[in-house]
A and B are shown apart, each in its own frame.
Chain A
Amino acid sequence: MTRFAATFAKPQTALVAFITAGDGDTAANLDALVAGGADVIELGMPFTDPMADGPAIQAANLRSLAKGTTTADIFAMAAAFRARHAGVPLVLMGYANPMTVRGADWFAGECAKAGVDGIICVDIPSEEDAELGPSLRAAGVELIRLATPTTDPARLPAVLSGAGGFLYYVSVAGITGLQQAAQASIEEAVARLKGATALPVAVGFGVRTPEQAAAIAKVADGVVVGSAFIDIIAEHGDAAAPHVEAFTRSLADAIHGAKEIAA
């Protein structure tokens, strides 16, 4: 069973936590996420031009790059994480250019070697799958696709074709970290997506508090939280780990308990 399958086979909803690689003490923060109860880790690959990100994650990208974070550093972080946490799914999330610059086969091979389970590439839609998808699938790395409020039923089959790991529902048409979607629209979308795929559905964008996370956790298989972690790291710098762990625990408690409460 893959790490994704094992994680999403649990009855409780998964907490999917995002931080940017190289922003703050990444190894300590990753351990804090796991200790606090995060079920899936998304590690952001910094990029000079993060077009889909709001101010918080943009700033995290620039902080990381200013410290000189390289792609090699990110794979080293990933491999070290895998050595410390054998069972926690690890996803690299980022933009097409850093992922494809040395060739898709090279990137997919490095992912496999480092124990990376899946990839989210913001700016490769299904139309351009050839750029990265075939190499990832050949290397046994899952390509996690995004569905959005603008993904109409006609497009959905194309989005799902070749998708793996879980389906990431971007709940607002917008950039990371800003607005929050209405709960009703999330419920409607998740129901629609689950009707179209056997993949677990995780919901993200704009989720900042345990209360919001718990509400979404009642209907989704995973809840993604990103900018709220980035804000903590921005505030506490290299000493953020205890704060990250405490916040993770508050989210994990809310998310993991949500379905029992609902039932």
Chain B
Amino acid sequence: METTVTASQTLPNSLRTGPDDRGHFGQFGGRYVAETLMPLILDLEREYRAARHDNEFRAEFDRLLKHYVGRPSPLWLAERLTEHLRASASEGFGAKIYLKREDLNHTGAHKINNCIGQILLAKRMGKSKIIAETGAGQHGVATATVAALFGLPCTIFMGAVDVARQQPNVFRMKLLGAEVVAVESGAKTLKDAMNEALRHWVANVHDTFYIIGTVAGPHPYPELVRDFQSVIGDEAKAQILEAEGRLPDMLIAPVGGGSNAIGLFHPFLDDESVEIVGVEAAGEGLDGKHAASLAGGRPGILHGNKTYLLQDDDGQITEAHSISAGLDYPGIGPEHSWLHDIGRVRYEPVTDAEALASFQTLTKLEGIIPALESAHAIAAAERIAPTLGKDKIIIVNCSGRGDKDIFTVADALGVKL
């Protein structure tokens, strides 16, 4: 395995020390924002550094994760899925599959881990209003939830197309007291919601905290979101050591912006025996409309950071497509771009059709309805597990539950509800 580390990093034997002090992971990341936001971003960074070394902050974060979110989330041995895949594999093949059950968190996905961390930062910084962008609505629901818990007014920006396809989550956010702004600009999906949130933030920097929902945006967001989500990998490591007495052979997670994936991956980056696979949404296939920024994009600058982007020759951002609203984004977190370039993580595409099939497989075999995002990772596991020996262990991040997706799935299957 290649373990090249850029010169700017301090501990050359670790892949876990990034970003550098200017927020770069290799050539990726950074702070590409309007001057108006720069002082605030620097403020946030200072505050985050202080909070990280503050035991009280840490204790409050842990308390909320345990008693409010319901952590630790279980690590479930998916025996029926494992057996099902072994049945069609060659003799002696078919890795054992564990699911990290982020779907069992309060609000139904990993998103809440990050929201708890960021709202504690907002409180620490004395900000009185919360904003967020959302695609599938999972991050919007998680943000509206913590805003309700902390009694702060909250505005969620959501592309008009996503508002239409994620109605249950829109209603949930409203019940939680959030204002949901349907964004009509651009392609009316997640990237446009993020543009609109940034526009609102620029005009309200004095009292507003922007809870970004994934490991994207300007430094220090990719770092702090990763750190808040790393509870996933820290728990998974302890749980697999307890269950199996050893590290897993492979990790698999879906990658939209990449927060659930980096949360699972980061604590394992220096464990060379662990293969790591991120799953990008290949939509209709890499020749058609898709959301696979690494497979089909090039490095560029958007939303405050440098990373792989779907774009044309002139640097205009092209529209992403995925059946899963949470993966429907033309970029990816900068740390993933770096892990891709240095070869530490392998990224594989999974299509809408494959995800749809795995959504049903997991539901029938394990009684677990996964989010369509998570179904992408299940599909990759179904593809890879039969090629590995029976003695191998895979942990798949079941990043969320699929209740929000039943309308989309019914529609795709031609079922009228």
Contacts and interface: CB of A to CB of B under 8 A. Distances in A.
A151 B301 CA distance: 23
Given A146-B35, A159-B35, A49 B302 contact: yes
Interface string B182-211: 000110000110010011001101100000
B313 A52 contact: no
Interface in A105-153: 122-125, 127-128, 131, 145-152
Interface in A44-77: 47-55, 58, 62, 65, 70-71
A51 B195 contact: yes
A155 B315 contact: no
A10 B279 CA distance: 60
Interface in B136-164: none
Contacts of A100: 300-301, 315
5 contacts: A49-B303, A98-B315, A99-B315, A124-B32, A125-B33
A125 B202 contact: no
Interface stretch (A31-39, A170-178, A193-201, A212-220): A170-178
Contacts of B311: 97, 101
B31 A128 contact: yes
Contact of B203 (A48, A71, A174): A174
A96 interface: yes
Given A51-B199, A96-B301, A174-B203, A71 B34 contact: no
A175 B203 contact: yes
B314 A51 contact: no
B185 A127 contact: no
Contacts of A58: 185-186
A62 B202 CA distance: 21
A197 to B, nearest CB: 15
Given A48-B186, A100-B315, A173-B203, A125 B38 contact: yes
A123 B205 contact: no
A98 B314 contact: yes
A139 B205 CA distance: 36
A175 B205 CA distance: 12
Nearest to A101: B315
Interface string B25-40: 0000011111111111
B32 A96 contact: yes
A48 B188 CA distance: 12
B123 interface: no
Interface of A: 47-55, 58, 62, 65, 70-71, 95-101, 122-125, 127-128, 131, 145-152, 155, 159, 170, 172-175, 178-179
B365 to A, nearest CB: 41
Contact of B316 (A51, A65, A145): A65
A47 to B, nearest CB: 7
Contacts of A145: 35
A49 B185 CA distance: 9
Contacts of B317: 48-49, 97
A128 B186 contact: no
Contacts of B35: 125, 145-148, 150-151, 159, 170
Contacts of A101: 298, 300, 311, 313-315
A127 B34 contact: no
B22 interface: yes
A99 B32 CA distance: 13
A173 B36 contact: yes
Interface in B306-334: 309, 311, 313-317
A120 to B, nearest CB: 11
A127 B31 contact: yes
Contacts of B18: none
B304 interface: yes
Contact of A97 (B34, B206, B301): B301
Contacts of A175: 199, 202-203
A213 to B, nearest CB: 22
Given A97-B300, A101-B314, A175-B199, A150 B186 contact: no
Contacts of B39: 150-152, 155
A173 B33 contact: no
Contact of B198 (A51, A127, A151): A51
Nearest to B196: A51
A199 B390 CA distance: 70
7 closest pairs, A vs B, by CB? A101-B315, A174-B203, A98-B315, A97-B315, A96-B301, A148-B36, A48-B317
A175 B199 CA distance: 6
B327 to A, nearest CB: 19
A178 B205 CA distance: 16
Contacts of B32: 96, 123-125, 128, 131
B291 to A, nearest CB: 16
Nearest to B184: A55
Contacts of A71: 314-315
Interface centre among A100, A101, A124 (most CB of B within 10 A): A101
B304 A123 contact: yes
Nearest to B36: A148
A127 B36 contact: no
Contacts of B202: 52, 173-175
A155 B316 contact: no
B316 A48 contact: yes
